[in-house]
A and B are shown apart, each in its own frame.
Chain A
Amino acid sequence: MSLWEYANPVKFLSFSGKIVPWFAAGAAFFIAVGLYWGYFLTPDDYKQGSTVKIIYLHVPAALIAINAWFMMLVASLIWLIRRHHVSALAAKAAAPIGIVMTLITLITGALWGQPMWGTWWAWDPRLTSFLILFLFYLGYVALWAAIDNPDTAADLTSVLCMVGSVFAVLSRYAVLFWNQGLHQGASLSLDKEKNVADVFYQPLLMSITGFVLLFVALVLIGTRTEIRIRRASALLARERG
Chain B
Amino acid sequence: MNALLLRDMRLAMRAGGGLGLSLAFFLIVVVLVPFGVGPEMGLLSKIAPGILWVGALLACLLSLDRIFALDFEDGTLDLLATAPLPLEAVVSVKSLVHWITTGLPLVLAAPVLGVLLGLQSDAFYWIVLSLLLGTPALSVIGTFGAALTVGLKRGGLLLSLLVLPLYVPTLIFGAELARRGIAGMDVGTPMSLLLGITFASIALLPFASAAVLKINLR
Tell whether A147 is near chain B: CB-to-CB under 8 Å: yes
Whether the Cβ atoms of A171 and B165 lie closer than 8 Å is yes
In contact, B169 and A159 (Cβ under 8 angstroms): no
The CA of A167 and the CA of B216, in the complex, are separated in Å by 22
B4 in contact (CB, < 8 A): no
A174 to B212, CA, bound (A): 27
Question: By the criterion CB–CB under 8 Å, are A142 and B158 in contact?
Answer: yes
Given contacts A132-B165, A139-B161, A160-B162, contact A174 B173 (CB under 8 A): yes
Chain A residue contacts of B172, Cβ below 8 A = 171, 174-175, 177-178
CA distance A96 to B151 in the complex (A): 24
B168/A160 in contact, CB under 8 A: no
Question: Which residue of B is nearest A171, CB measured?
Answer: B168
Interface: B41 (CB within 8 A): no
Which of B169, B189, B193, B212 is the one whose CB lies under 8 Å from A167? Answer: B169
Q: Which of A120-167 contact B (CB under 8 A)?
A: 132, 135-136, 138-139, 142-143, 146-147, 152, 155-156, 159-160, 162-164, 167
- B158 touching A146 by the CB < 8 A rule? yes
**Does any Cβ of A come within 8 Å of B218's Cβ?**
yes
Interface string of B175-217 (1 = CB under 8 A from A): 0100000000000011001000100000001001001100110
Contact code string B98-127 (vs A, CB < 8 Å = 1, else 0): 000000000000000000000000000000
Q: Judging by beta carbons under 8 Å apart, are A142 and B162 in contact?
A: yes
Decide: A170 near B176, CB < 8 A? Known: A135-B165, A142-B162, A156-B148: no
Determine the main DSSP class of B at the interface with A.
helix
Which of chain A's residues have a CB closer than 8 A to the CB of B218? 152
**Shortest distance between the CB of B194 and any CB in chain A (Å):** 10
Cα distance, A171 to B141, chains bound together (Å): 14
Contact assessment for A163 and B166 in the assembled complex, using a CB-CB cutoff below 8 Å? yes
The binding surface of chain A is classed by DSSP as helix
Q: Which residues of A contact B144 (CB under 8 A)?
A: 163
Name the B residues within 8 Å of A142 (CB-CB). Answer: 158, 161-162
Alpha-carbon gap, A135 to B158, bound state (A) = 12
User: Contacts A146-B158, A163-B208 known; A156 to B169 CB distance under 8 Å?
Assistant: no
Interface centre among B161, B205, B211, B212 (most CB of A within 10 A): B161
Which residue of chain A is the closest to B166 with respect to CB atoms?
A: A167
Chain B residues whose CB sits within 8 angstroms of the CB of A136 once the complex forms: 165
Judge whether B80 is part of the interface by a CB distance below 8 angstroms.
no
Complex: A155 Cα to B214 Cα, angstroms: 10
- Residues from chain B with a CB closer than 8 A to the CB of A143 are 148-149, 158, 162
The 4 nearest A-B residue pairs measured at CB = A174-B169, A174-B172, A135-B165, A170-B169
| Chain A contact residues, CB within 8 Å of chain B | 132, 135-136, 138-139, 142-143, 146-147, 152, 155-156, 159-160, 162-164, 167-168, 170-171, 174-175, 177-178
Q: List 24 A-B contacts (CB under 8 A).
A: A135-B165, A139-B158, A139-B162, A142-B161, A142-B162, A146-B155, A155-B215, A156-B148, A159-B211, A159-B215, A160-B162, A163-B144, A163-B166, A163-B205, A164-B166, A167-B165, A171-B165, A171-B168, A174-B169, A174-B193, A175-B172, A177-B173, A177-B190, A178-B172
Q: Other CB < 8 Å A-B pairs besides A139-B165, A143-B162, A159-B212, 17 of them? A: A135-B161, A142-B161, A143-B148, A143-B158, A146-B152, A147-B151, A152-B151, A152-B216, A155-B215, A156-B212, A163-B166, A168-B165, A170-B197, A171-B165, A171-B168, A174-B168, A177-B172
